Amino acid sequence: MTKIFNPLGRMMQRRDFLKVAGASVAVAALPATVRGAEPVKVVLWSWVPDLQLQVDMFNAAHPGIRVELVNAGQGKPEYQAVRAGLQAGSGLPDVVQIEYQLLETFRQVDAFADIGPYANAHKGEFPEGLWTQVAKSDVVNGMPQDYGPMAMLYHKDIFDKHGITPPITWAEFADAGKKIHAADPNVFITDAPFGANADWVLGLLWPMGWKPVSRDGDKLAININDKIAKDFAAYWQDLITAGIVETKPGFNNEWYTGLDSGRYATWLAAGWGPLFLTSVAKTSVGKWRAADLPQWDASKFATGAWGGSALAVMKTTQHLPEAAEVAIWLNTNPEATKLYTTKQNFFPCTNALLSSPQWAGDKPDFFGGQEVNKVFAKSASAVAPFEWSPFQDFLYQSMSDEFGASLGGKGTLSDAFDRIQDAVVAYAKEQGFTVV
Amino acid sequence: MAMSNSPAAATRPARWGGFTSRKLAPYLFLAPFVLLFIAFIVAPLVYAFYMSLYRDTLVGGRHFAGAASYIKVAGDAKFWGGVWNLVLFGIVQVPIMLGLALLFAIVLDRGQVYAKGVFRLGFFLPYAVPSVISTIIWGYLYGPNFGPFTQIAKAFNLPPPDFLSPGAMIFSLANIVTWEYVGYNMVIYYAALMAIPSDLAEAARMDGASPWQFARLIQLPLLWPAILLTIIFSINGTLQLFNEPYLMRALAGNTINSSYTPNLYAYSLATQNQQYGYAAAVSFVLGIVIAGASYIFTLITNRRRPEQ
């Protein structure tokens, strides 16, 4: 269909649209706007590259809605803009990209509308653990767009050289590390960026059942330095003290070279990791493989997640049904969501894609033809629910500061957990919470 | 007719008009600056001060807190720790930077240097590189595993230097800032040297002054106002250090924390802790510390000003 104004074409689009719309609860409120001359404008803030492609698909399928895509920065800068808008009470978008880890933080300042009435029908289309990230019982504050279930990527060449098979448990992981490092002091089993990447640390604490901050209204139970954290700290402190892991910050050129050149034998990565690694490790094509995340208890397979984000609808929107439809359609439409896995290289969220032969059966050369996506899809189904704190960026900041201080000589990781506990309790009280 | 004959009457309108336009003209010319100054400096300052009197909490929202935030800053170990980091940083970095700038300016001012323009431009060029870019470049050079210094050390079987360790970080940052700003300060000194009348140089030469004596006894005292200016600039710049540690944090997360410098601390408070009022108070106290340091420095140097 041409872009030139064509009354008949518009009619047909409308009719098609109504047909499609019939399936969705969201559309209950739509006909009024469809009949109106002007389509409803919905502003969407997202940093996802090439999202315009999916937005164009949406606009073509919804003549009554016009989505305007704005890139307000990736992560932090966008959150700053959202917070500025919340403070000012204006300038906010209708739909906004938010990482799962920050949803609770923005819920705390009452940023989001409840899209449950429109979204709950789609609950079964996503893995259970993932749905708990965006929904609390029937209240839904976001639609999952991409995901980061954790697994292990490893240098098969290094493992083979030292006669090691992928470790099933963390104890085996440590043994493998000792063996490799003893044979070659320039190789480390992994890099553990405690001082810089707190979200990675949290992803590893997650499968252990760590509950740093649990809330009941304005009452918070803060258990950051509990037994789980102490066990975790003791394990990693041993590896650090023994010198078989490095603790350099991730995501810089030094680190990429470290992975590529085989200074680090493994990367404890998330679902988006395989394609990310492919883009930063250019010379180690074919040497990498994926395996399950090492386990604390081999009989109970559990994993965590690291990263991923959702589309949420702002409470201030004047067009709740339309905005909800944008968030839902962009993350449930089969064509649009499939395009994320091919164009944006996202790790998919929908069950349909996670089990699709095309995606799950992909055999990239970088991983020697292994079906790596299947490893991460298995992890996706084993991610337990996790309760985020209502001030997640403060928690992360305290973790980075205190882990960093410990690695810089101020005590052990275990001491760091004690200091984080103190800092977070003080902050929570100052913020008006009752700490129980 | 008497009226038109009177010179006073004839010239009065013209004088009156001249008077008003002469009175208004400067303000007219200043208006664009004043308006922008009010919009982007004064208004945000006033708003920040207003905010600093309130406290934002996640439960209960915003409420008036009076001077509570200021009292808290006074006893905030994180804030003063950051200031202390920068005092140490400044004591090392500022004299080195200004000393080098002075040396380069005096050497360039002498006639004997060939390709003077190339050197002048070369020293100044780092200042033209945005600090973000220079920090990224230096960050690469400092790389502990694969950076060039490490590669060289490994080639000679020496232990690689760790520029990003807690002990070395302040010097590594000082090095970046020095590299960035030596040229800027050199240009200020160089301009001041150019303004020294050539008959003074001639007279000194005729009286048999050595180049060293000329530099110490003639050039240095005449440069004193320029040196004072650059020191004040440096105190200001040092205490506001942000870009370099902010970017270095991605490479040295174990060393640089969220309160490594006061500006970094204020930034974390506002963007991550959602403590907008407290961030504003921290910024104001930092402003007071900077103004105080500059004032004390001026007082001391005024008393000890060398006789000219």
Write down the domain spans for chain B.
Answer: 2-52, 74-303
Token code pair at residue A76: 């932090």
Query: To which residue do tokens 């970095």 refer?
Result: B93
| pLDDT score at B209 | 87
Q: Do B254 and A407 touch (CB under 8 A)?
A: yes
Partners of A247 on chain B (C-beta within 8 Å) are 254
Please state, in angstroms and rounded to a whole number, the distance separating the CA atoms of residues B42 and B35: 10
Strand duo A95-99 + A40-45: pairing: parallel
Closest alpha carbon within chain A to B57:
A431
How close, in Å, is residue A88 to chain B by CA atoms?
13
Give the pLDDT confidence of A391-427 residue by residue, as tens digits.
999 999 999 999 999 999 899 999 999 999 999 999 9
Please state, in angstroms and rounded to a whole number, the distance separating the CA atoms of residues A265 and A179: 12
| pLDDT score at B216 | 87
Q: Grade residue B53 by pLDDT with cuts at 50, 70 and 90.
A: very high
A359 found inside a domain: no
A365 found inside a domain: no
| pLDDT score at B62 | 87
Mean pLDDT of B190-200: 90
Token code pair at residue A333: 């439409």
Partners of A108 on chain B (C-beta within 8 Å) are 58
What one-character DSSP code corresponds to residue B190?
H
Same domain, A219 and A244: yes
Which residue among B250, B254, B272 sits closest to A394, beta carbon to beta carbon?
B272
Asked if residue A389 has pLDDT above 70, the reply is: yes
What one-character DSSP code corresponds to residue A99?
E
Interface check for A257 against chain B (CB to CB < 8 A): the answer is: yes
Give the pLDDT confidence of A185-239 residue by residue, as tens digits.
999 999 999 999 999 999 999 999 999 999 998 999 999 999 999 999 999 999 9
Q: At CA A140, angle to CA A135 and CA A143, rounded to 5? A: 90
Q: Grade residue B19 by pLDDT with cuts at 50, 70 and 90.
A: low
Partners of A400 on chain B (C-beta within 8 Å) are 253, 257-258
How close, in Å, is residue B252 to chain A by CA atoms?
7
Interface test with B, best of A283, A424, A430 (most B CBs within 10 A): A430
Give the pLDDT confidence of A308-364 residue by residue, as tens digits.
999 999 999 999 999 999 999 999 999 999 999 999 989 999 999 999 999 999 999
What is the rounded average pLDDT for all residues in chain B? Answer: 89
| pLDDT score at B15 | 52
Beta bridge partners of A311: A97, A143
Give the pLDDT confidence of A267-323 residue by residue, as tens digits.
999 999 999 999 999 999 999 999 999 999 999 999 999 999 999 999 999 999 999
Same domain, A162 and A292: yes
How close, in Å, is residue B270 to chain A by CA atoms?
9
Interface check for A435 against chain B (CB to CB < 8 A): the answer is: no
Interface check for A197 against chain B (CB to CB < 8 A): the answer is: yes
| pLDDT score at A422 | 97
Same domain, A277 and A331: no
Interface check for B126 against chain A (CB to CB < 8 A): the answer is: no
| pLDDT score at B23 | 83
Same domain, A136 and A169: no
Strand duo A434-435 + A219-222: pairing: parallel
Whether the Cβ atoms of residue A261 and residue A155 lie closer than 8 Å to each other: no
Interface check for B57 against chain A (CB to CB < 8 A): the answer is: yes
Q: Do A408 and B273 touch (CB under 8 A)?
A: no
Please state, in angstroms and rounded to a whole number, the distance separating the CA atoms of residues A308 and A352: 18
Domain endpoint, select from A354, A381, A415: A354
Same domain, A191 and A263: yes
A170 found inside a domain: yes
Asked if residue A14 has pLDDT above 80, the reply is: no
Q: How far is CA A84 from the centre of its chain?
A: 24
Strand duo B54-57 + B61-64: pairing: antiparallel
What one-character DSSP code corresponds to residue A43?
E
Please state, in angstroms and rounded to a whole number, the distance separating the CA atoms of residues B176 and B138: 7
| pLDDT score at A227 | 97
- CB atoms near residue A227 (< 10 Å): 10
Partners of A194 on chain B (C-beta within 8 Å) are 254
Q: Grade residue A170 by pLDDT with cuts at 50, 70 and 90.
A: very high
Give the pLDDT confidence of A231-261 residue by residue, as tens digits.
999 999 999 999 999 999 999 999 999 999 9
Same domain, A27 and A143: yes
| pLDDT score at A37 | 67
Same domain, A136 and A167: no
This complex has an ipTM of: 0.85
Interface test with B, best of A252, A427, A436 (most B CBs within 10 A): A252
Whether the Cβ atoms of residue A154 and residue A166 lie closer than 8 Å to each other: yes
| pLDDT score at A341 | 92
| pLDDT score at A224 | 97
Closest alpha carbon within chain B to A76:
B271
| pLDDT score at A36 | 54
Which residue among B145, B255, B268 sits closest to A404, beta carbon to beta carbon?
B255
Token code pair at residue B274: 């959602």
What one-character DSSP code corresponds to residue A139?
E
Using a pLDDT cut of 90, give the percent of chain A over it.
87
Same domain, A13 and A93: yes
Same domain, A223 and A128: no
Same domain, A96 and A168: no
Which residue among A194, A197, A254 sits closest to B145, beta carbon to beta carbon?
A254
| pLDDT score at B1 | 38
Using a pLDDT cut of 70, give the percent of chain B over it.
92
Q: Which residues contact B95 (CB under 8 A, 6 or more apart)?
A: none
Interface check for B122 against chain A (CB to CB < 8 A): the answer is: no
Asked if residue A5 has pLDDT above 60, the reply is: no
Q: Do B253 and A83 touch (CB under 8 A)?
A: no
Q: Grade residue A1 by pLDDT with cuts at 50, 70 and 90.
A: very low
Interface check for A407 against chain B (CB to CB < 8 A): the answer is: yes
Same domain, A296 and A419: yes
Which residues of B, range 72-91, sit inside 8 Å of A by Cβ?
none
Q: Grade residue B45 by pLDDT with cuts at 50, 70 and 90.
A: very high
Asked if residue B8 has pLDDT above 70, the reply is: no
Using a pLDDT cut of 90, give the percent of chain B over it.
67
Query: Which class would CATH give B74-303?
Result: mainly alpha
Partners of B165 on chain A (C-beta within 8 Å) are 408
Please state, in angstroms and rounded to a whole number, the distance separating the CA atoms of residues A116 and A98: 17
Give residue A227's domain range.
151-304+373-435
Whether the Cβ atoms of residue B268 and residue A397 lie closer than 8 Å to each other: yes
B34 or B6: whose pLDDT is higher? B34
Give the pLDDT confidence of B235-246 residue by residue, as tens digits.
999 999 999 999
A420 found inside a domain: yes
Give the pLDDT confidence of A51-104 residue by residue, as tens digits.
999 999 999 999 999 999 999 999 999 999 999 999 888 999 999 999 999 999
The count of structural domains within chain A is 2
Q: Do B251 and A397 touch (CB under 8 A)?
A: no
Interface check for B274 against chain A (CB to CB < 8 A): the answer is: yes
CATH number of the domain that A111 lies in?
3.40.190.10
Helices (H), A44-146: 51-61, 76-88, 100-108, 116-119, 128-134
Q: Do B166 and A252 touch (CB under 8 A)?
A: no
- Give me the amino acid identity at A300: K
Give the pLDDT confidence of A174-194 residue by residue, as tens digits.
999 999 999 999 999 999 999
Give the pLDDT confidence of B252-278 residue by residue, as tens digits.
988 999 999 999 999 999 999 999 999
Among A1-15, A155-169, B90-104, name the one with the lowest average pLDDT: A1-15
Q: Do A400 and B166 touch (CB under 8 A)?
A: no
- Closest residue by Cα to residue B169 from B142, B130, B140: B142
Q: Which residues of B219-244 are buried (b: 16+ CB within 10 A; e: fewer)?
A: beebbeebbeebbbbbbebbbebebb
CA separation, residue A379 to residues A165, A184, A307 (Å)? 19, 31, 14
Which residue among B59, B146, B257 sits closest to A404, beta carbon to beta carbon?
B257
Which residue among B57, B165, B253 sits closest to A249, beta carbon to beta carbon?
B253
Same domain, A171 and A230: yes
| pLDDT score at A2 | 33
How close, in Å, is residue B249 to chain A by CA atoms?
8
| pLDDT score at B109 | 86
Partners of A397 on chain B (C-beta within 8 Å) are 258, 268, 272-273
Q: Do A408 and B255 touch (CB under 8 A)?
A: yes
Please state, in angstroms and rounded to a whole number, the distance separating the CA atoms of residues B258 and B87: 18
Q: Which residues contact A123 (CB under 8 A, 6 or more apart)?
A: A131, A135
| pLDDT score at B24 | 87
| pLDDT score at A4 | 36
The answer to whether the Cα torsion of A216, A221, A224, A228 is positive or negative is negative
